[in-house]
Amino acid sequence: MNAEIIAIGSELLTPQRVDTDSLYLTDQLNGLGIEVTCKTIVGDDRERLASAVRLAVSRSEIVLMTGGLGPTEDDVTREAVALALGRKLVYHPEVTQQIEQRFARAGRRMAEINKRQAFILEGAVVLPNDRGTAPGQWIEHGQVSVLLLPGPPGELKGMFELQCLPRLQQKAPRQVIRSVCFRVSGMGESDVDQLIAPVYTKYTNPATTILAGAGDIQVHLRARCATEEEALGLLTEVGTPIEALLGDRIYSRSGEPIEVMVGSMLRESQATLAVAESMTGGELAARVTSVPGSSAYFLGGFLTYTNAMKSALLDVDPDLIARHGAVSKETAEAMASGARARTGATYAVSITGAAGPDSSEDKPLGTTYIGVAGPNGCDVTHRQFLGDRSRIRAFAAQLALDLLRRRLRA
Amino acid sequence: MNAEIIAIGSELLTPQRVDTDSLYLTDQLNGLGIEVTCKTIVGDDRERLASAVRLAVSRSEIVLMTGGLGPTEDDVTREAVALALGRKLVYHPEVTQQIEQRFARAGRRMAEINKRQAFILEGAVVLPNDRGTAPGQWIEHGQVSVLLLPGPPGELKGMFELQCLPRLQQKAPRQVIRSVCFRVSGMGESDVDQLIAPVYTKYTNPATTILAGAGDIQVHLRARCATEEEALGLLTEVGTPIEALLGDRIYSRSGEPIEVMVGSMLRESQATLAVAESMTGGELAARVTSVPGSSAYFLGGFLTYTNAMKSALLDVDPDLIARHGAVSKETAEAMASGARARTGATYAVSITGAAGPDSSEDKPLGTTYIGVAGPNGCDVTHRQFLGDRSRIRAFAAQLALDLLRRRLRA
């Protein structure tokens, strides 16, 4: 069973905006075994939208539209669908009443213009909107279900889950889509691909997608089968040899990011963590503390952007910095050890490096040292990252978390 | 003059991926005065792509396609366009030679399969690809220019700028698009809209778009005119009253984020900055240090996630925390003052609050205190943010930067 999505709004045709509603809808539809085969983004243009709707209903079994249901002149979805499907728009006074009541609850009066939102396509089911004024509409048009949904993500999600999911479940085929995601640290995208392509290219089902982040590769396998058992069987058949090839570079099989995995390991081993960041300027700690409940293991840390701060806050010997430089194995080690001593944390992770634009020392851009101090001493890892400031910082934070993961596992 | 963009690739129809190539292309086309009126995303499906191409050439003057030019069976763009336009694909041995030479330079042999990339549409101009193997193609089909471009962003950008921009400049209308962006802190999206709607709704040109971030609203005005003078005149006509209404809540007229603006102000006043973060756990400092050259004014800071760390690292009196709580005006003040004293920075900014999931104290989720300590003493601001952990942290970091901006301006 195929669906297509039409996102409506001129702002979605500017260089600043992407249509994210369709990602949510795709995820929901895939969960029902429904594939999305096409996405279209059109501006607030009645004729153009009508022709997109005509094409969509001619080839897809479900057509979902988001946006353009507001009360203003710009909101053309209702009229365009009426035009495309050859149906009248009928005024529903009870919808106006509901909108009026909504305004009244907020102590406001409904503007006359909101009556536009009470025009419903002939034969459509009205989908109540519990988070906004625009009701949705569901039209069975021949063999095709046509859904008009609001654009604001909160309104869309509420309406989809309450009103559309139950209806779609009845229409959905006896097909399931199941997926698995391996997250990998310490390898580049092309290296991952080269390693596992001999396995996954033998299969079109499951479909394999490799997504690359900063030092963080996701391998998605997606199986489409008649039964859940069959889908999970295929995922095991292809996933097991891929897991064997990637080995301990896989840090997560649940799709969770590395800061969540490291957090669980710290919690399990009842260990605490402190950081000492120079180059990354808080980015490592921000990731650690983005995890709800991280206060159970994260004590705190030091941002030492200058040499004087490294000495004042972390007791790094100024002579050591003078001898080896702030971007050095020795400084990274002293920072990690200093942070551990000052906080009493079980582990302390330090990052020092050159992220540009210019390095005060003779170290090439991207030179990075990461220290991990713990009960069994301090290790320092050196890397040379490529790219701009933000890429170097993101790679360094990811590697620091991966080094801590490896230490915790050891 | 209208363009539309078709992005090709089944991975773009998964919940994980958005088409970002079209944002780049839209930006480039708008710069030439060309509007993008529709975007379509289709999978690797020859028939479906062919029907999208047929519709596009029936209504737009420029049709840009990205992706599907690789060497494998999945890469169907060439065949689909041949089908849609009724043109033959012709094998060009000289294109194979170029691909072979590219492989040879990397010390590799071209696979037989790459010969598929040497099939060119009858009448098309071959667009060399200096960053990959897939050549692009440019077809003049009646009144319509049809462009086949590679999907990988690096290849796309190289080819577009070298091969397509000069050709499009000749076709482009005598029309310019100019835009201006005001960035606003300290107001919500609907408040901004309510305030400035009486001005901008009087105009369809320039078009106004309001984008909302965490405590950070962007107001974009976009004028489309025959001459640059006319476009800039319109932007002034509409922008000036909007500026007057928003007043000092506008922190940037250049589109730059607040951390860049605050950085410039610190640099100009030869002041230095330190931070003391609890709830935001490094997010404020990560934003400050994301700016290239921030080492000129950022000294460092303290991440004090526990009460013990607030006392040990920032000299916050344990009795004060016991009396008022870690999330309090008093603690925020002591943190900012402590950070300033320990680092010797001109200004120190502190953040303490409850971002959830659970608060050890009796403070409701979202309660936040931000301290700004400087030569003229320390101010503490209290806010109650709504939303989840990541939203609360992002709003707090943005407000902290805005409070520092206001102090620096004073």
CATH number, domain at B244? 3.30.70.2860
Q: Once rounded to an integer, what is the mean pLDDT over residues B205-228?
A: 88
Q: For residue A298, give the 3-state DSSP assignment.
A: strand
- pLDDT at position B175: 79
- Answer yes or no: do A51 and A185 share one domain: no
Last residue of a domain, one of B171, B198, B229: B171
Q: Which chain A residues have a beta carbon less than 8 Å from that of B64?
A: none
Instruction: Tell me if B37 and A45 make a contact (CB, 8 A cut-off).
Output: yes
Looking at residue B361, its pLDDT comes to 64
Look up tokens 């079109």; give the residue: A204
Identify whether residues A73 and A202 lie together within a single domain. no
Q: Using 50, 70 and 90 to split pLDDT, how confident is the model at B360?
A: low
> Cβ contacts (< 8 Å) between B17 and chain A: which residues?
209, 211
User: Is there a single domain that holds both residue A167 and residue A180?
Assistant: no
Domain assignment of residue B290, given as a range: 258-409
Chain B residues touching A280 at Cβ < 8 A: 286, 289
Among A17, A209, A280, whose Cβ lies nearest the Cβ of B14?
A209
Nearest-CA distance from A87 to chain B in Å?
Answer: 23
Do A164 and A180 belong to one domain? Answer: no
| CA–CA min distance B94, chain A (Å) | 28
Question: The CATH number of the domain where B375 resides is what?
Answer: 3.90.950.20
Residue closest to B259 by CA, chosen among B300, B304, B298: B298
Q: Residue window 383-402, chain A: list those with CB within 8 Å of chain B.
A: 389-390, 393
Nearest-Cα residue of chain A relative to residue B51 = A55
Most trustworthy range by pLDDT among A94-103, A192-201, B311-320: B311-320
Q: Is B107 left (phi over 0), alpha (psi -120 to 50) or beta?
A: left
Contact: B286, A281; criterion CB under 8 Å: yes
**Contacts with A55 from chain B: Cβ below 8 Å:** 51, 55
Could you tell me if B56 and B141 lie in one domain?
Answer: yes
Same domain, A102 and A236: no
- Contacts of A190 by beta carbon, 8 Å cutoff, 6+ apart: none
Q: Are residues B161 and B219 in the same domain?
A: no
> Could you tell me if B267 and B402 lie in one domain?
yes
Q: Check residues B189 and A117 and name the one with the higher pLDDT.
A: A117
For residue A111, report the phi and psi dihedrals to the nearest 5 degrees: -75, 150
Q: Are B19 and A18 inside 8 Å of each other by CB? A: yes
Domain shared by A269 and A133, yes or no: no
Q: Give the model's pLDDT for residue B359.
A: 59
Q: Which of B117, B137, B171 is the last residue in one of the domains?
A: B171
Contact criterion met (CB < 8 Å) for B39 and A13: yes
Contact A3, A35 (CB under 8 A): yes
Amino acid, res. A349: V
Chain B within 8 Å of A121 (Cβ-Cβ)?
A: no
Which residue from A minimizes the CA distance to B298? A305
Residue B260: its H or E element: helix B258-268
pLDDT at A358: 67
What is the biggest distance separating any 2 CA atoms in chain A, rounded to whole angstroms? 83
SS3 breakdown of chain A: % helix, strand, coil, rounded to 5? 45, 25, 30
B173 in contact with chain A, both atoms CB, cutoff 8 A: no
Please state, rounded to an integer, the average pLDDT across all residues of chain B.
93
Least confident segment among A260-274, B95-109, B242-256: B95-109
CA B97 vs CA A371, B117, B124, B149: distances in Å: 50, 11, 18, 20
pLDDT at B34 over 70: yes
Q: How confident is the model at residue B77 (pLDDT cuts 50, 70, 90)?
A: very high
Please tell me the pTM assigned to this model. Answer: 0.81
Same domain, B20 and B149: yes
Residues 54-73 (B) with a CB less than 8 A from some CB of A = 55, 59
Number of domains in chain A: 3
Is it the case that residue A113 has pLDDT exceeding 90? no
The alpha carbon of residue B52 is apart from the nearest alpha carbon of chain A, in Å, by: 9
Q: Are residues A193 and A139 in the same domain?
A: no
- A255 at the B interface (CB within 8 A)? no
Q: Which of B171, B194, B215 is the last residue of a domain?
A: B171
ipTM: 0.80
Angstroms from A307 CA to nearest CA on chain B: 9
User: Same domain for A301 and A388?
Assistant: yes
User: CB distance from A187 to chain B under 8 Å?
Assistant: no
pLDDT band at B338 (very low <50, low <70, confident <90, very high): very high
